């Protein structure tokens, strides 16, 4: 019978998993989108229940912005782009485009 010798591993030199810093996706207010639009968009893109969508729509309306998601940079960019691509609000005839969103580092 032969014996197999495995190399010793030093726990301190093993690669540690590094966490990616979080980013906020921030929805910006405008006068061209209704609460209904915001609520349905947040349900469609983030899976939020109607109550949470309403709370965020109200925050956007009263504060001018609301954090709708905190995640990795890559996912934040995806969610921002999905908001930008969601399309105009059919309830307001003058509305010609989607809402705007930005990304900021979470502190």
pLDDT, tens digit only, all 107 positions of the chain: 666 665 555 555 455 567 889 999 999 999 899 999 999 999 999 999 999 999 999 999 999 999 999 999 999 999 999 999 999 999 999 999 999 999 999 98
Please check whether residue 70 is in contact with residue 46, taking contact to mean a CB–CB distance below 8 angstroms.
Answer: no
Residue that is written with structure tokens 């968009």 in the block: 41
Task: Mention every residue, 6+ apart, whose C-beta is less than 8 A from residue 63.
Answer: 29
Q: CATH code for 20-105?
A: 3.30.1390.10
State whether the Cα torsion 63-53-48-103 is positive or negative: negative
Length of the chain: 107
C-alpha Rg value of the chain to the nearest Å: 22
Where are the strands (E) in the chain, listed by range?
A: 23-28, 65-71, 101-105
pLDDT at 84: 98
Q: What pLDDT shows up at residue 15?
A: 54
Domain ranges (residues) in the chain: 20-105
Query: Under a CB-based contact definition with an 8 Å cutoff, are residues 106 and 70 in contact?
Result: yes
Picking from 25, 19, 48, the residue whose alpha carbon sits closest to that of residue 106 is: 25
């Amino acid at each position: 019978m032969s014996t197999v010798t495995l190399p010793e591993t030093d726990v301190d030199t093993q690669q540690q998993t590094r966490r990616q810093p979080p980013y906020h996706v921030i929805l910006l207010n405008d006068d061209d989108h209704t609460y209904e639009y915001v609520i349905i968009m947040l349900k469609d893109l983030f899976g939020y229940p109607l109550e949470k969508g309403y709370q965020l729509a109200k925050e956007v309306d009263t504060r001018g912005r609301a954090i709708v998601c905190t995640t990795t940079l890559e996912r934040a960019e995806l969610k921002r782009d999905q908001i930008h691509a969601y399309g105009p609000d059919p309830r307001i005839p003058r509305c010609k485009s989607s809402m705007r969103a930005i990304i900021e580092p979470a502190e």
